[in-house]
Every structure is written in C-alpha cells, then in structure tokens.
Amino acid sequence: MKVEWNNKYTTISVYAIIVICCSLLFFNILDKLPAFTENLSWVMSTLQPFVIGFVIAYLLNFILVFFEEKILVFDSIKNMKQKGKRAISLLLTYTTAFIILYLFIQFVLPQLVDSVVGLVNDIPTYVNNVTVFIESLTKNIDLNNEYMTIAVGKWNEFIDYTIKIISNLIPVLGGMLKTTASGVWNIVLGLIISIYMLIDKEKFCGLSKKVTYAIFNKARADKAIELTNRANDTFGKFLSGKIIDSAIIGVLTFIVLTIFKMPYTLLISVIIGITNIIPFFGPFFGAIPSVIIIMFVSPIKALWFILIIIIIQQLDGNVIGPKILGDSIGISAFWILFSLLVAGKLLGLVGMIIGVPLFAWLYSIVKEIVEYRLKKKGLPEDTEKYM
C-alpha cells in the first residue's frame, strides 16, 4: 500500500507516533534514572578527552587566528601553502600557551601556595588582633550589655565561619590538584585532540555543514548554520574579551596593591582577576574574601582596599570593559542578571561564565522570531512603539 505522505491525517498520525515514542522514552528514563545517570556518566567520562580537546582548541583558536591574520602576513609566508602556514601558526600558538603556563607554574603558583599556607598558619594571630581591636573600639561606645552580648556572639560566629572556610582552603586545593593529577592523561589526550582539531578545523566545519544539508532542506540548513555562526561569534567575542579584560584587571590590581603595600598582593590579585570573568557578580565574589583576608591583617587597609576595588571596577566597567568587549553581549543589565541567576542555578560556576553569551544568543533568536511575526502582521517592530 502506498503511503500518501502529503495527506493531512498521515502527517498527524506520524507526529502522534513520534510524540508517544518520545513520551515513553522520557518516562522510561525517569523510571530508571539512577541507571540512566550512571550510563550517562560513563559516556561523559569516555568523551571527556574530546570535550577537553574541544575547549582547548576553541580557546586557542583565537591565538591561532591572530597569528595567521595579523602576524604571518609577510610576502614569503603569504605565498606559502595553507598547510605550511597553519603548521607555523600552530607552533607559535602552542609555544605561546606553554610559555604562559610555564610562567604561571614557575613564578605565580609557588607564591600562591605560600600565601595560602601562610594565611592559614597566621589565622589565630589575626583573629586575636582583630578581636582586641573591636574590644578597644566598643569600650569607647556606651552600649547596653544585652546588645553587646548579641554583637559579641555574632562576631564569634563570623570568626568561626571564616576560620572554617579558610582552613578548608588547603584541602580544597589538595583535592583540585588530586583531580587534576588523576585527569592528566585525559588532559594530554585532549591536548593532542585539540591539535588535530585546529589542523583540520575547516574540514570539520565543512563536514558538519555537509551533514546538516543532508538532513534538512536548504532553507532550514542555511538557518541552522547561520544560528551556529551567530553562537560562535557571540561566545567567541565574549569569552576572548572577558579573558583579556580579566587579565588586565588582575595585573592592574597587583600593581596598585603593591604600591599601597597591601598584604597577600599576589593571592588577592589572582582572586580578583579570576572572579572578574563572571559578569556582574564577579567583582563581589572576588572582593568579599579579599576584604576578609586583608581585614585580619589590618582593618584600615581593608577599608582602603574596598575603595581601591571600587575605583578599579568603575574603570573596568566604564573604560576597559567597553573598549575590549564592545557590544558583544547586546542585552540589558536586567537580562544579564537574569541569565546569571538561572544559569548559575542550573550549571553552577560554568553556568555563571557561559550563561550571559548563551542567553544573548537565545535572546537574539527570540527577538528575530518576534520581529518577523510582527512584520508579517504589518505591525511596528520597535519596542518603543508599544510603550
């Protein structure tokens, strides 16, 4: 019997069968969630080298493009075959990455470890000094004994909580080193995979386009490729810009704190630089533990540090950030906050880093669909017309 695929009822029946199958699959997964999660974990652990390789290749691709388009522009290299030019660019890219990693391990990492160990060892002295300072301060203030008892109790709770957090820094760092060491083989494999990805990145892109055109019709395939290019453009500009911006802020913080002779300068600068990658909340995440660390040494310097960080963040938000990032996000502060909260809740720290470009990409798709439908209805597309 010949099936009439263009028949309305045949189409409805096919869609109904697909929905039923998907529903059965979904409820089957829910019924056997532990086993499904275990199998998913096994699949993810198997694919981990490829995920690591893709991340390394994606991040290093910015350096590779910079060398190919900005540095290797001499006539002798221009006339070289693409494979030869790519080989030189790859060599320069990975050499640059390894030099940065070597400098970090050689000069920054030992000082970071020394700072953390010294901080943990000096906690009792710092706590005693701060307690004496607060007691001398409260003697000059005429407070009710009941309020004094509450204030002292809260202060002791704060001290206990802070000591607990800082004391756990070494085990946490040890756990991170252990996890990194256990995943060294995956990292090595990921590094090798990233090299192959960068060598044949155009071939991989062409293959993915070929498969897309084979599965979908031309109009839908064109749209899928356009959305993929849009996502790559949004993520690429945001991540590369944020990394450069955070590196500048970290170095600037180190210089300023060194001038003001702040304690644990390198440790605090690294904290500020890393947390600055997270939009909106990053400066707060970095400033709060830094203020607590400095406050143990000198409450006055902690106040100065707050003022310094406010000035640096204003400089970053109004001058450095816009110069580097430009309008790569393209969404308002409200949606940035919304995307951070939602993505952070769902994906944790990774969500807080990629949540903004991910939401900006989805926002651009929804905006395009809404404006297209309004245009078909002959209605204005500008939001101000509806205010």
pLDDT at 285: 81
Residue 332, φ and ψ in degrees, nearest 5: -75, 170
pLDDT at 133: 66
| pLDDT of 280 above 80 | no
CB atoms within 10 A of CB 233: 13
Region 330-346: mean pLDDT is: 77
Least confident piece of the model among 65-74, 173-182, 188-197: 173-182
Buried b (16+ CB within 10 A) or exposed e, 239-271: bbbbbebbebbbebbbebbeeeebbbbbbbbbb
pLDDT at 322: 74
User: Between 132 and 265, whose confidence is greater?
Assistant: 265
Please tell me which of 36-40, 128-132, 229-233 the model is most confident about, judged by mean pLDDT: 229-233
| pLDDT of 144 above 60 | no
- pTM for this entry: 0.70
The band of 275, judged by pLDDT with boundaries at 50, 70 and 90, is: confident
Backbone conformation region of residue 255, classed left if phi is above 0, alpha if psi is from -120 to 50, else beta: alpha
The band of 193, judged by pLDDT with boundaries at 50, 70 and 90, is: very high
pLDDT at 282: 78
What amino acid is encoded at 82 in this protein? Q
Summarised one tens digit per residue, pLDDT across range 97-114 is 999 888 888 877 777 777
Region 68-95: mean pLDDT is: 80
Cα radius of gyration rounded to whole Å, the chain: 27
Summarised one tens digit per residue, pLDDT across range 206-237 is 899 999 989 888 888 888 899 888 888 888 88
User: Between 38 and 276, whose confidence is greater?
Assistant: 276
| pLDDT of 16 above 50 | yes
Cα dihedral sign, 57-58-59-62: positive
Backbone conformation region of residue 330, classed left if phi is above 0, alpha if psi is from -120 to 50, else beta: left
Region 107-136: mean pLDDT is: 70
Least confident piece of the model among 25-39, 116-130, 140-154, 241-255: 140-154
Q: How far apart are CA 349 and CA 278, in angstroms?
A: 9
| pLDDT of 5 above 60 | no
Region 42-56: mean pLDDT is: 83
Cα dihedral sign, 297-300-304-307: positive
pLDDT at 357: 86
Least confident piece of the model among 2-6, 31-35, 70-74, 207-211: 2-6
Share of the chain above pLDDT 90, in %: 8
Short-list 213, 2, 228, 195, CA closest to 87: 195
Summarised one tens digit per residue, pLDDT across range 244-265 is 888 888 899 999 999 988 888 8
- HEC assignment per residue over 99-142: HHHHHHHHHHHHHHHHHHHHHHHCHHHHHHHHHHHHHHHHHCCC
SS3 of residue 66 by DSSP: helix
What amino acid is encoded at 117 in this protein? V
Q: Look up residue 270 and give its two tokens.
A: 């690294």
| pLDDT of 1 above 50 | no
Short-list 323, 312, 371, 361, CA closest to 339: 361
